[in-house]
Structure 1
Amino acid sequence: MAKVIEVDPEGLRSWIGSAKRTLTIESEAMARLIQALDGPLGRAFGEAIRLIKQGSGRVIMTGMGKSGHIARKIAATLASTGTPSFFVHPAEASHGDLGMIGRDDIIIMISNSGETAELRAVLDYAKRFQVKMIGLTSRADSTLSHHADVALCLPDCREACPIGMAPTTSTMLQLAIGDALALALLEDRGFNAAQFKTFHPGGLLGAALTHVKDFMHKASQLPLVAPTTPMAEALVTMTQKSFGCLGVVDGESGELIGIFTDGDLRRHMSRDLIDLTVSDVMTRTPRTIVSDTLASEALEILNSTKITSLFVVDDKNRPVGLVHVHDLLRHGVQ
Structure 2
Amino acid sequence: MSEKNFVDYVKICCRSGPGGSGSAHFFRDKSTPNGGPDGGDGGRGGHIILRGNEQMWTLLPLKYRKHVIAGPGGIGKGNNQTGAMGEDVILDVPLGTVARDVETGEELFEISEHDQIEIIAPGGRGGKGNTHFKSSTNQSPRFAQQGEEGVEEWKILELKVLADVGLVGFPNAGKSTLLASLSAAKPKIGNYPFTTLVPNLGIVGYRDGRSFIMADIPGIIENAHEGKGLGLRFLRHIERNSVLLFVVPADSDSIKEAYQILLSELEKYNPQLLDKQRILGISKTDLIDDELKKMMSDDIPKDIPSIWFSAVTGENILQMKDLLWNTINS
Do they superpose with TM above 0.5? no
Which structure exhibits the higher relative contact order, with contacts defined as CA atoms closer than 8 Å and separated by 6 or more residues? 2
Given the two structures, how large is their TM-score scaled by the length of structure 2?
A: 0.28
Relative to its length, the structure with more helix (as a share) is 1
TM-score relative to the length of structure 1: 0.27
